[in-house]
Amino acid sequence: GPVKAVMDVVFEDFKSMRLPAPVRIALACCINMCGAVHCSDIGLVGIHRKPPMIDHEWTDQLCEIPLAVAACPTAAVRPTKVELDGKKVNSIAIKNERCMYCGNCYTMCPALPISDGDGDGVAIMVGGKVSNRISMPKFSKVVVGYIPNEPPRWPSLTKTVKHIVEVYAANANKYERLGDWAERIGWETFFKLTGLEFTHHLIDDFRDPAYYTWRQSTQFKF
């Protein structure tokens, strides 16, 4: 849905070559970002805010349970047995208070769906690229922490993406990628020009090294 809605508002730009340089827009439906969203000019990332649901009927049939256990960066997943139609079957238990809603277990086990219409939303990242022209390849940074899910046309998301593209088109030099432009003018100026609000949710991406502050390993201290 968000892909179609966003493409509809930028489609003309991809036919006219009026933008200063290529603008790669990518969407990933969870923060594992298999679509190389972290190195796209504009990355849209599905944000989940509830733990996966557990489909006990299918866990033993669709999943390698040890893989799902190993996939969880916060050790929230463990094997268990549950009673189903009078029989004990192998399944999975999730310690909800440990879950950071990353969706990694779902990539290993389709019986752990994490999508939820009410809790889900989209974050916007900006400035990534794989090219080494002008500057080295770089990761994109989070510039909008959360936009609610608004099917069927995602108006807040499409408006924000279009706005970022327009401000970039009006201010960047010819052949300057979005990330190169933001770095040349400074990210502070990027936020001023775009009018996007800088909130505490964005701090990690603008502080180096953010690696140590991410809640990403089993060594995290609760």
d(CA 96, CA 38): 27
The alpha carbon dihedral of 129, 161, 21, 14 has a sign of: positive
69 touches ligand SF4 by CB under 6 A: no
Query: Out of 24, 45, 65, 74, which residue is the one contacting ligand SF4 (CB under 6 A)?
Result: 74
C-alpha triplet 84, 90, 93: angle, nearest 5°: 95
Nearer to ligand SF4, 91 or 158 (CB): 91
* Main-chain phi, psi angles of 182, to 5 degrees: -60, -35
**What's the min distance (Å) between Cβ of 49 and ligand SF4?**
11
Among positions 5, 7, 82, 100, the unique one binding ligand SF4 when judged by CB under 6 A: 100
The verdict on 126 binding ligand SF4 (CB under 6 A) reads no
- CB nearer to ligand SF4: pick between 115 and 171: 115
34, with CB counted inside 10 A (0-12, 13-18, 19+), is exposed
Q: Name the residue nearer to ligand SF4 (CB basis): 25 or 99.
A: 99
- Residues of this chain that bind ligand SF4 (CB under 6 A): 51-52, 71-72, 74, 76-77, 94, 99-105, 114
